[in-house]
């Protein structure tokens, strides 16, 4: 009986054990510490899961090099084509800018104008703020240059009077050269000056060049948008095939409690790797193409006494193309997995 009584609960009414020690009181801060540890563990687990999925998806691409390379090449070509067109247009704009800067307005002076009128006209034109340079060619100088260029020296020597008028070669500002309306206004102002017989400016080629470049910009944007849709379709179809090949694996994961978000994650990283690789390869292709053509373009420009050289995409282009490729790949994968993974249910 005494042994039975001693075998009862070791805690008496005073809250002491058999040996007379008190139980440790409950610490209210322990739950908060456990909560903080649990939140940190969740964040660490989230990052570890993403890192594991990224590595696994990248390893799967390396496990199938031929298929992955073909997909990356298709994406790279789709990104490189509008990029190459845009680079070509940018270089043409730079080249046309140098042409426009060399454009000149020819101001023909009345043949019967007095020397004072001619000098006053020269001073007035030189004082205009819209002009960079003004060069006067006298009738005698113009006749000598024409005889040397045309080869009709003996015929022109038979003329009693010099038929050529004096000319002012006017070079407008570079900013003004890009504005056709302001050039037209300048031509009208010069025509109203006393002593001016005629003002000529060949503006048609400037207008045509600007229209062609503007059309090229729009074509490159339209082509880029169309091929971007093609990238989405290529990535989406590739991810769809990958989902079908791993259907049994997805079913097992869902049976053990895996959510759709957990199942989607590796395929999203696969699309991201495809896009980044395609953008990087597109930048590499455009850069190598620019370097290959640069020597020929530089040699051609040297024949025209020009130092023009092709400008590539640079490091900024690398960031833009890889970022654009990654975004397209991620978006294409998201469209594919959001539609197909929800249909796979155990």
Domain match, 93 and 219 both: yes
- Inside any domain, residue 42: no
- Inside any domain, residue 118: yes
Domain match, 308 and 247 both: yes
The whole-number average pLDDT for the span 298-318 is 81
Q: Which of 201, 230, 263 is the endpoint of a domain?
A: 201
Confidence category of residue 308, pLDDT binned at 50, 70, 90: confident
- Inside any domain, residue 21: no
The whole-number average pLDDT for the span 312-326 is 91
- Inside any domain, residue 171: yes
- pLDDT tens per residue, range 73-85: 999 999 999 999 9
- Inside any domain, residue 259: yes
Whether 192 shows a pLDDT value over 80: the answer reads yes
Q: Which of 168, 201, 234 is the endpoint of a domain?
A: 201
Domain match, 94 and 240 both: yes
Confidence category of residue 14, pLDDT binned at 50, 70, 90: very low
Whether 20 shows a pLDDT value over 60: the answer reads no
Range of the domain at 176: 104-201
Domain match, 139 and 282 both: no
Among 116-125, 159-168, 284-293, 321-330, the range scoring the smallest mean pLDDT is 159-168
Domain match, 142 and 197 both: yes
Q: What is the pLDDT of residue 307?
A: 76
- pLDDT tens per residue, range 100-126: 555 678 888 888 788 888 888 888 888
- Inside any domain, residue 63: yes
The whole-number average pLDDT for the span 6-35 is 45
- Inside any domain, residue 151: yes
CATH of the domain at 149: 3.30.70.3040
What is the domain count for the chain?
2
Whether 286 shows a pLDDT value over 60: the answer reads yes
Q: Which residue has the higher pLDDT, 105 or 345?
A: 105
Q: What is the pLDDT of residue 201?
A: 77
- Convert the chain into a string of H (helix), E (strand) and C (coil): CHHHHHCCCCCCCCCECCCCCECCCCCCHHHHHHHHHHHHHHHHHHHHHHHHHHHHHHHHHHHCHHHHHHHHHHHHHHHHHHHHHHHHHHHHHHHHHHHHHCCCEEEEECCCCCHHHHHHHHHHHHCCCCEEEEEEECHHHHHHHHHHHHCCHHHHHCCCCCCCCCEEEEEECHHHHCCHHHHHHHHHHHHCCCCEEEEECCCHHHHHHHHHHHHHHHHHHHHHHHHHHHHHHHHHHHHHHHHHHCHHHHHHHHHCCCCHHHHHHHHHHHHHHHHHHHHHHHHHHHHHHHHHHHHHHHHHHHHCCCCCCCCCCHHHHHHHHHHHHHHHHHHHHHHHHHHHHHHCCC
Domain match, 184 and 222 both: no
Among 50-64, 72-86, 167-181, 250-264, the range scoring the smallest mean pLDDT is 167-181
Q: Which of 201, 230, 255 is the endpoint of a domain?
A: 201
Whether 226 shows a pLDDT value over 70: the answer reads yes
- Inside any domain, residue 35: no
Domain match, 219 and 320 both: yes
Domain match, 129 and 84 both: no
């Amino acid at each position: 009986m005494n042994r039975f009584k001693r075998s009862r609960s070791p805690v008496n009414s005073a809250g002491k054990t058999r040996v007379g020690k008190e139980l440790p009181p409950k610490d209210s801060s322990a739950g908060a510490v456990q909560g903080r540890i649990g939140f940190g563990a969740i964040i660490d687990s989230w990052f570890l899961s993403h890192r594991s999925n990224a590595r696994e998806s990248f390893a799967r691409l390396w496990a199938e090099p031929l298929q992955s390379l073909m997909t990356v090449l298709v994406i790279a070509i789709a990104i490189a084509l509008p990029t190459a067109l845009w680079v070509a247009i940018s270089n043409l704009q730079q080249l046309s800018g140098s042409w426009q800067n060399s454009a000149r307005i020819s101001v023909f002076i009345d043949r019967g104008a007095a020397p004072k009128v001619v000098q006053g006209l020269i001073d007035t034109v030189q004082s205009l703020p819209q002009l960079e340079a003004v060069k006067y060619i006298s009738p005698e100088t113009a006749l000598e240059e024409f005889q040397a260029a045309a080869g009709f020296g003996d015929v022109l020597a038979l003329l009693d009077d010099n038929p050529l008028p004096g000319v002012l070669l006017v070079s407008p500002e570079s900013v003004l050269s890009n504005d056709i309306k302001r050039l037209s206004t300048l031509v009208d102002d010069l025509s109203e000056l006393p002593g001016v017989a005629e003002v000529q400016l060949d503006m048609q080629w400037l207008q045509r060049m600007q229209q062609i470049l503007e059309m090229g910009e729009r074509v490159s944007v339209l082509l880029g948008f169309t091929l971007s849709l093609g990238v989405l379709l290529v990535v989406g179809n590739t991810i769809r095939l990958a989902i079908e090949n791993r259907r049994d694996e997805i079913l097992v994961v869902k049976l053990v409690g895996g959510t759709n978000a957990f199942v989607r994650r590796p395929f999203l990283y696969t699309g991201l790797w495809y896009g980044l690789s395609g953008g990087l390869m597109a930048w590499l292709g455009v850069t190598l193409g620019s370097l290959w053509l640069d020597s020929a373009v530089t040699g051609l420009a040297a024949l025209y006494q020009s130092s023009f050289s092709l400008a590539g995409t640079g490091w900024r282009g690398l960031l833009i193309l890889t970022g654009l490729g990654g975004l397209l790949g991620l978006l294409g994968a998201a469209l594919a997995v959001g539609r197909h993974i929800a249909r796979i249910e155990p």
